[in-house]
Structure 1
Amino acid sequence: MRGLLADTTPLRTADFRRLWLAGIVTVIGANLTIFAVPVQLYALTRSSAYVGLSGIFALVPLIVFGLWGGAWADAMDRRRLLIIASAGLAVASALLWAQAALDCANAWVVLCLLAVQQAFYAVNSPTRAAAIPRILPEGQLAAANALNMTVMQFGAIVGPLLAGVLLRWVDLSTLYAIDALTCLVGVWATVRLAPMPPTGEPGGAGWGLGAVVDGFRYVAGHKVVLMSFVVDLVAMIFGMPRALFPQMAHESFGGPLEGGTTMALLAAAMSAGAVAGGMFSGWLPRVRRQGLAVVVAIVVWGITMVGFGLAGGAADGRAGLFFWVALGCLALGGAADMVSAAFRSTILQQAVTDEVRGRLQGVFTVVVAGGPRLADAVHGAAAAAVGTTVAAAGGGALVVVGMVLCVLAAPAFVRYRVSTSRT
């Protein structure tokens, strides 16, 4: 059992330990805002269109500043950029608190502040990921990524549940205020880091569009790195069924139209599985054929989504045995996705040079953020055309087919392995 439990060796390094502990707090705070924004928008407008618009206001800055933030992470001291981005997150959350506390009652103000917050997040995320290999030896990166993924999923469960409980006694402005305060913990952790100046030649990385283009050029020239992005897009676009949850909760499993417990369990199942997978991730650092591990994990993800879709079709409007089968499939899929994400992050950190690591992490941020949002559009359209069962199960099957095609097109990715000499 000791060999199966999460490898906590990276936590022996003080800098990583502070970042990780701060991440527990800040991720929960961030999920309070993720919960509060759509609730406030709907309360202000009584329109789901405005709630959906928040996805566009979040995605655009994620793409733009994710790419540029990665370039900046290669061109300047990563510790300094992390401090700026963490402080920016705190200020954005404080402004969200102010508009709610002052009862501004303007949806466009909320949307614009959300965009500002996501811009700082888009800078913070690739910079933080690019900083980890400067803190830890390569042999500990898989374990470190598993620990970080576990914290992210833990926050995705605890944050919304905590928000739902807190709103019995406080208003939405308090949720924003808590998020702003938790961001200060992240500032403290980054201030304690050692300086991380660029490792390339002075002025070599650049700050503008050319640096971003160089990052894409690097991706195009390295098949293993390129395929780490492609396989994730295949898994998410075809296999992420979260857009179907409201309809399936009501029609397939007999839940109330407005959501309720059935919807909450569907929404939390993947994150719960990912947390469980993270807790038993001790075997990850011992895997050398990381490309093959990613392929296997994504195939498992696709198969579990087939099971989820078929369980929904068999449930026939009743929350009986098939509902629990569906939850089990989602949880197992979440665990497989955690494994895939941990190894893909590790490949990206190990297979590239430090001079372009920030830009590649920026592309990673865009792929991770954009894939599920494209999946929402694809699955929503598919469900309208062929029904939720075919959309969910068929999407999972397409993931498996897509992975077979990826393996045939890029066998080098499957053969990729970590050298046993790395510690």
Structure 2
Amino acid sequence: MQIRGLLADTRPLQDAHFRRLWQANIVTVVGAQLTVVVVPAQIYAMTGSSAYVGLTGVFGLVPLVVFGLWGGALADAFDRRTILVVTTVGLIATAVAFWAQAALDVGSVWLLLGLFSVQQAFFAVNQPTRSAVLPRLLPADLLPAANSLNMTVMQAGAIAGPLVGGALLPVLGFSWLYLVDSITLLATLGAVVRLPPLPVEGVVTPPGLRSVVEGFAYLRGHPVLLMSFVVDVVAMVFGMPRALFPEIADVDFGGPAGGGLAFALLFAAIPAGAVLGGVFSGWVSRVERHGLAVVLAIVVWGVAITGFGVAVGLADGRAGVWLWLAVAALVVGGAADMVSAAFRTTMLQAAASDAVRGRLQGVFIVVVAGGPRVADVAHGATAAAVGTAVAAAGGGVLVVVGTVAAALLVPAFVRYRVTAAPR
């Protein structure tokens, strides 16, 4: 019984609509993560520079900010099922375009970055809408479990994608892996088409600047929710070293420039930790102090990233034990990040009315997805100046310091609690 209580809470899967979306994601996220891996690998193969890889942060961040905020406003104005269908078709189209540029061997890093921007624009509208739908499908007491289940599947795909991509890149090349992404997205399209109509409940605000401003005004009046964004910015901007993975795999661990075992393990390690955290997430529905749980999880994340940077610095061009220690540190960090994300998502979904939920989720996706994009740029530039090990380890230290400072400045966030749902 104690072991069963630790395993993931699967009650949300009793809802047919949630179950179909969840099952579709099992297939879709693998293909999506192939693209996440292949884009930086293709850029690094073209240029041999982590700085160019870091530019994916710029080309991803701008559409994420603009379309994330606007997408949240759209989700509070139009039927959310329709928005999900349109944006999913757009994601399929951009995946096909990725395949075409690789198959034709265009060889333009700027075209690749441009396609990446278009893809992120569709993603930025799709995700706030998808998150805003969840509280319409499930009762509030099942949201922590549902968010944990969603993150577990997403991160499981993020393991399979890098492992498959890293292993097959030297064999199949870039184009075939992009093609897999475009095909797997059809599963999600089938699931969203079967959703019921999901018009906004309450007063509908026309999408535009005023609507976006109203969403920020709502946050300003809820400092606990605002602080949930702040600590995630600290965690991701300072602590996400993924832009360094191609160079670390190649230079610090002696792998080939176009993929290989070290490359695959580094990209898969954080999602692997998140999956472990999700599999043993049965306890999340019983936690009352969500704010404290977030702070502790982010501190663990920062310590783990610091350990990763130390292992990279000690490797000195060799793999062996240092590679596995680096991977282990990233696994611990991934588990901590999953816990933080599950509680932060639940806090936001439960606190907002349906009429503003899309806009708040738009802000959420800007922070959650935009933070790592800023980190790509910052880590790429920092590594060029001081090396990959110092950039990673120093970022981890800054995560711990920044999170503790935020907790001290806003103690209400640490004290925030909810009544645990009965099990």
TM-score above 0.5:
yes
8 Å Cα contact 2:57/2:377 also seen in 1: no
- Residues 309-332 of structure 1 deviation map (CA, whole Å, 9 limit, x = unaligned): 333344455434343332221110
State the distance in 1 between where 2:384 and 2:173 align: 36
State the distance in 1 between where 2:243 and 2:40 align: 15
- Residues 382-405 of structure 1 deviation map (CA, whole Å, 9 limit, x = unaligned): 445554444333322222221221
* Structure 1 residues 242 and 54: CA distance shift in structure 2, 3 A: closer
Aligned to 1:140: 142
* Structure 1 residues 260 and 293: CA distance shift in structure 2, 3 A: same
- Residues 19-76 of structure 1 deviation map (CA, whole Å, 9 limit, x = unaligned): 0111111111222333444455566778777655444333221221111001100111
Q: Root-mean-square deviation (CA), in Å?
A: 2.7
8 Å Cα contact 1:138/1:422 also seen in 2: no
* Structure 1 residues 156 and 254: CA distance shift in structure 2, 3 A: same
Query: What count of residue pairs does the alignment treat as equivalent?
Result: 421
Aligned to 1:80: 82
SS at match of 1:2: helix
* Structure 1 residues 111 and 239: CA distance shift in structure 2, 3 A: closer
Please, which runs of 5 or more residues in structure 2 have no aligned partner? Answer: none
Match 1:120 to one of 115, 119, 122: 122
What pairs with 1:10-25 in structure 2 (closer than 5 Å)? 10-25=12-27
Of stretches 276-285 and 378-387 in structure 1, the one that deviates more from structure 2 is 378-387
Q: Does 1:379 align with 2:391?
A: no
What pairs with 1:379-398 in structure 2 (closer than 5 Å)? 379-398=379-398
* Structure 1 residues 205 and 167: CA distance shift in structure 2, 3 A: same
What pairs with 1:333-344 in structure 2 (closer than 5 Å)? 333-344=333-344
Displacement of 1:207: 0.8
State the distance in 1 between where 2:170 and 2:63 align: 33
- Residues 168-201 of structure 1 deviation map (CA, whole Å, 9 limit, x = unaligned): 7756443333322222211111111121111122
The alignment's TM-score, normalised by the length of structure 1, stands at 0.90
State the distance in 2 between where 1:337 and 1:228 align: 13
Aligned to 2:229: 229
* Structure 1 residues 333 and 100: CA distance shift in structure 2, 3 A: closer
- Residues 317-361 of structure 1 deviation map (CA, whole Å, 9 limit, x = unaligned): 543434333222111011000110111111111122211111111
Of stretches 250-259 and 226-235 in structure 1, the one that deviates more from structure 2 is 250-259
Displacement of 1:79: 1.1
State the distance in 2 between where 1:130 and 1:358 align: 5
- State the one-letter code of the partner of 1:211: S
- State the one-letter code of the partner of 1:412: A
- State the one-letter code of the partner of 2:371: G
What pairs with 1:37-76 in structure 2 (closer than 5 Å)? 37-39=39-41, 51-76=53-78
8 Å Cα contact 2:167/2:261 also seen in 1: no
SS at match of 1:207: coil
State the distance in 2 between where 1:396 and 1:387 align: 15
The alignment's TM-score, normalised by the length of structure 2, stands at 0.90
What pairs with 1:319-334 in structure 2 (closer than 5 Å)? 319-334=319-334
* Structure 1 residues 277 and 112: CA distance shift in structure 2, 3 A: same
- State the one-letter code of the partner of 1:124: N
* Structure 1 residues 320 and 38: CA distance shift in structure 2, 3 A: closer
Of stretches 101-110 and 4-13 in structure 1, the one that deviates more from structure 2 is 101-110
Please, which runs of 5 or more residues in structure 1 have no aligned partner? Answer: none
